[in-house]
Structures are given as C-alpha cells and as structure tokens.
A and B are shown apart, each in its own frame.
Chain A
Amino acid sequence: MGIDRAKGQLELMLLGILRGGPQHGYAIVSALRERSSGEFDLPEGTVYPALHRLENSGLLQSTWEMVGGRRRRLYRLSPTGLAALGEAARRWARFSSSVNAVLAGAAIPVMRPA
C-alpha cells in the first residue's frame, strides 16, 4: 500500500531528496527508505526511470564521477527543478492538510461484528 501510494508522489519525493544536495541513485533510494522509516522501499527499477524522466524534463541535471572504481551518475536539482519543487510541495501541503481536515471532522466508522 505504501509503495503504491509513494509511486504517485515519487517525482516530488525525488526532488525533495535532492534539495539537500547532489546524490547518486544508490544514495537516493536509501534516503527514500530511511526518511520514510522503511515505508517507501521502492525498487530501483522504478526509481531510475523516474530520475531519467525528471532529467529529461529539465528538473534535474546529472554528471558522472568515478567512485570505488565504477562510474556513478550524480543527480542534482536544476534551477527549474528547485522552483518546481517549491510549487509541488505547496500543492501537496494544501492537499494533505485538506485531507487531514476532512478526516478530523469525519465520523469514525465503527466496525460491528456480523
């Protein structure tokens, strides 16, 4: 359930992780998992296409570096990505606070045994 929901907001979360500075794929996936306390342990096969989509859209930039004898792609937010992150984060905050407000005022259904 958590992973399915996370996929809907994956691009926003990836931008959010990269706000802290450039990171490569392994560190990004680890950050997703650790910041969500293991709730969003997304498969790499989902994360890399999303990173490439964001880069193709101009929201991320990447460079290559050698670490531990292997080439690694280092992703960073572009200025456009930083602006898009701010806007998307504001929309998400409005949405989530609206849902919370509705839930706070909702009657909690009582499950009765049949």
Chain B
Amino acid sequence: VSDEAGPAGPIEEFLDRLLLACRDGPPRTARHLLAEAEAHPYDLARRSREEGADPVEAEMAAVARFGSAEALARADAASHLTPIPVLVRPLVATALLLGGLGGLAMGLSAVVTAIMGSVAGSTFIVNITHHTYLAPSDCVRWLSQNHSTHSCYQAALDDWSFEVVAYRAVLGILGVAALVL
C-alpha cells in the first residue's frame, strides 16, 4: 500500500469528485459505486506500478479509464432508472385483465339475454310498449331490414333486442381476446 500515490493522489481526488457527483442519488447506490470505483482503479494502478510505472502516473492512467466522475455518476444513475416499458407493462396487464373480465361478463350476459329473449320474447330484452313513439323514418328503415313482420313496433323490438345481444357478444369476444393476451 505504501507505494500508492497517497491521500492527495489522483485516485483519491477522483473518488472525492465522484462522492460529490453522487450526493443527490440514493445513498446505497452511491456507496456501492464508490466502493467499486475505489477498488478497480487501485487494481489498475498496482498493475501499472508492477510494470514499472511511476505511482502518480499509474493512478492518473487508472483514473483516465473511468472518464470524468460526473459522467460516471450520471451514467450510473441512469442505469438504475426503471425502464418505461417495465413500468407500463404491469399497468397494461392489469388493464387487460380487468377489461377482459368485464368483457367476459358482458359476453355471458349476451348468452343469458339471448336465451331469455328466445324464451320470453324480445320485450324481456327491450322495454318499449305500443305507446312508445317510433319515428316514421326509423320504421321504414327497420321494416326494410326485417321482412318477417309488417309491424313497426315488432321491427323495433327485433332490431333493438338484436343490438343489445350483438353488442354484448362483441364485448365478450373482446374480453376473451384481452384475457388471452
């Protein structure tokens, strides 16, 4: 140890600068980086001295390999940041799970609604009466799509009940897709 450049040597100065550069970061990260950045340049300097280098020049060369203390501290701080994909991934997974379960529930309700509709009629699905106002233009459209009836009321019932079941079924399919993902 006696052949090191001493307390005022380049490695000690480098470590002082590194300590100051790390002062805003987490203490443990700073301590670990300082410990690594102390052992390694002293190893390099010892190797150079064994090859005949002057102690001060050996330490200067060792410090030079680390670059500036400030740049090292910045690069190391960046290496401890959690990548954005790592943060986003669990959020997306949770959203898919919740959305998938919700969609699946809607899909199951589509099955139940379709069964009950076939048993109890469309009025079980859609709550309209003969007194509900149905616009003439809508009646024309519904009747043009439904040739099994001449009643606007029945055509409206069929159209709306079909939409209720179809939309829920689509949500169910999307829910299953989200759960599979």
Please determine whether chains A and B interact with each other in the same assembly: yes
Q: Quick one: which of A46, A50, A57, A71 contacts B35, CB cutoff 8 A?
A: A71
Contact A45 B72 (CB under 8 A): yes
Q: How far is the CB of A67 from chain B (nearest CB, A)?
A: 8
Contact B40 A56 (CB under 8 A): no
The main secondary structure of chain B at its interface with chain A is helix
For A112, list chain B residues within 8 Å (CB): none
The B13-69 residues at the A interface (CB cut-off 8 A) are: 32-33, 35-44, 65-68
Q: Quick one: which of B1, B40, B72, B83 contacts A25, CB cutoff 8 A?
A: B40
For B76, list chain A residues within 8 Å (CB): 48-49, 52
Residue among A26, A45, A46, A50 having the largest count of chain B Cβ atoms under 10 Å: A45
Q: Quick one: which of B1, B39, B65, B78 contacts A45, CB cutoff 8 A?
A: B65
Contact A26 B72 (CB under 8 A): no
For A29, list chain B residues within 8 Å (CB): 40
For B79, list chain A residues within 8 Å (CB): 49-50, 52-53, 56
The B118-137 residues at the A interface (CB cut-off 8 A) are: none
**Would you call B93 an interface residue if the criterion is a C-beta within 8 Å of the partner chain's C-beta atoms?**
no
The A60-99 residues at the B interface (CB cut-off 8 A) are: 64, 67-73
Q: Quick one: which of A24, A45, A53, A71 contacts B67, CB cutoff 8 A?
A: A45
Contact B75 A45 (CB under 8 A): yes
Query: In whole angstroms, what is the CA distance A43 to B67 when docked?
Result: 7
**Would you call B147 an interface residue if the criterion is a C-beta within 8 Å of the partner chain's C-beta atoms?**
no
**Would you call A44 an interface residue if the criterion is a C-beta within 8 Å of the partner chain's C-beta atoms?**
yes
Query: In whole angstroms, what is the CA distance A79 to B82 when docked?
Result: 20
For B89, list chain A residues within 8 Å (CB): none
Residue among B40, B67, B71 having the largest count of chain A Cβ atoms under 10 Å: B40
Contact B71 A45 (CB under 8 A): yes
Query: In whole angstroms, what is the CA distance A64 to B86 when docked?
Result: 27
For A46, list chain B residues within 8 Å (CB): 67, 75
Q: Given A43-B66, A43-B67, are A49 and B36 neighbors across the interface (CB < 8 Å)?
A: no
For A49, list chain B residues within 8 Å (CB): 72, 75-76, 78-79
Query: In whole angstroms, what is the CA distance A27 to B43 when docked?
Result: 10
Q: Quick one: which of B33, B42, B67, B83 contacts A70, CB cutoff 8 A?
A: B42
Contact A43 B65 (CB under 8 A): yes
List 17 extra interface pairs beyond A45-B66, A53-B79, A72-B35, CB under 8 A: A24-B39, A25-B39, A43-B65, A43-B66, A43-B67, A44-B37, A44-B41, A44-B65, A45-B65, A45-B72, A49-B76, A52-B33, A52-B79, A52-B80, A70-B38, A72-B39, A73-B35
